[in-house]
Amino acid sequence: MKRKENLSKLTTERPNPASANLDLKSSLQIARIINSEDAKVASAVKRALPQIARAIDVIANSLKQGGRLIYVGTGTSGRMGALDSAECPPTFQTDPRMVQYVIAGGLKALGEAVEADEDSREFGAKEIAKKKPGKHDVIVGIAASGRTPFTIAAVEYARRHGAKTVAVICNSGSVLGRAAEIAIVVEVGAEVVSGSTRMKAGTAQKMVLNMLTTGAMTRLGYVFGNLMVNVKLKNSKLAERGVTILQRATKASRQQAEQTLRSAGNSVPTAMVMLQSEVTRATAEELLKKTHGHVRNAILAAKKL
């Protein structure tokens, strides 16, 4: 028989006095209580900013060397990793292989609970082993409790094989935090519904993962100013966004932005370099290649020609 774990020591599992007798409250009162508790999440994330910044630097450096960012988690934590992974290609025009995820239970777990798998260290090590983590990769283990066997085993395996490792957790002093090189601890406290870590803990995880990928991609030059310059123009909304980005960044007229974008093969980064530096498409593409897609560095290089 498996040893029973004492979860009562975890802050995310404790009863929350603020939501006592929640079932007796009106809908507005319930909403106010949840909103009040959610307001505490940003402050909890703020306390972890130094560790988040360290992780951003590690991720950016690894991706620059051709490595990958791979999220690992179970349940809500795994789905948060999958969501952030899926959002990177449309936002930053990255190769889908650059940011990946591993979730206990596989694709099925994205739409329904597959909770038994999270207790298996064997499955965790086996699933991350399929990714063949190495010295240029960063593995981010996500677990509100910090004690999920699947995730711990995956992080330990990746670290043994030379990968950089990060933990995103909501309880201090956890096994997962000790297993990783960088522990991002976001102590959000007790949940409105005791133990339901899809709530504040899930919100905290989403905020942290947003910072990790947005921070890393910005350091890599996939953001110009605060503009999503690497956006891929796959539909009419995104095509309009591309024109708007060019206008805002270069002060070009709408007609000029549209014409340059067509000349650039609908590549916003290429059009940006062309407009800012008055170079040809071929030159812009070559400079972007030399700077590994770093738009601002490509523009600076163009001005030195």
Catalytic amino acids? 87, 118
Nearest to 290 by CA among 278, 275, 273: 273
The CA distance from 200 to 95, in Å, is: 31
Strands of 10-80, DSSP E = 69-73
The CA distance from 148 to 152, in Å, is: 6
Size (the chain), residues:
305
Query: Would you call 101 helix, strand, or coil by DSSP?
Result: strand
State the DSSP code for 17: G
Host H or E run for residue 25: none
**Burial of 46 (C-beta count, 10 Å sphere; 0-12/13-18/19+):** exposed
The CA distance from 206 to 243, in Å, is: 29
Residue 125, both tokens = 């090590």
φ/ψ of 102, rounded to 5, equals: -130, 125
State the DSSP code for 43: H
The CA distance from 262 to 14, in Å, is: 57
The CA distance from 287 to 289, in Å, is: 5
